[in-house]
Chains A and B, each alone.
Chain A
Amino acid sequence: MSLINKKPLQSRGFGKVGGTMSKPKTNASSIVLVRRTPEDLAKSRRSVYPYLIP
Chain B
Amino acid sequence: MSYEFHKVGQSTAYNKKYLVNVITYNFRSPKHLYLVEIEQYRDKTFIIKYFLKKHKKNKHKYNLLSKEFKCRQVVLTVINILYEVLSKHKCCNFGFMGANTTDHSGKELESKDNTKRYRVYRKLVEDRVGPDTFTHYMSDKGSYYLLVHNKHVDVTKVKDQIVEMFRDEFPQLGLLNVICSN
Contact = CB atoms under 8 A, between A and B. Distances in A.
Interface of A: 26, 28-38, 41-42, 44-47, 49, 51-54
B127 A45 contact: yes
A34 B139 contact: yes
Given A28-B177, A53-B86, A54-B133, A41 B141 contact: no
Nearest to A40: B136
Given A26-B112, A53-B83, A32 B129 contact: no
Contact of B146 (A30, A33, A53): A33
Given A31-B142, A31-B175, A52-B79, A46 B135 contact: no
Contact of B138 (A28, A34, A54): A34
Contact of A36 (B86, B137, B174): B137
B130 A51 contact: yes
- Classify chain B's interface size: 35 or more
A41 B126 contact: yes
Secondary structure of the A contact surface, majority rule: mixed
B179 to A, nearest CB: 5
Contacts of B163: 33
A35 B137 contact: yes
Given A28-B174, A51-B129, A54-B133, A34 B181 contact: yes
A38 B133 CA distance: 11
B16 interface: no
Interface string B78-109: 01101100100000000000000000000000
Contacts of B175: 28, 31
B134 interface: yes
B31 interface: no
A38 to B, nearest CB: 4
B67 interface: no
A35 B135 CA distance: 7
7 closest residue pairs by CB, A with B: A51-B130, A38-B131, A47-B127, A35-B182, A36-B136, A29-B177, A52-B128
Nearest to A37: B131
A3 B80 CA distance: 64
A29 B129 CA distance: 29
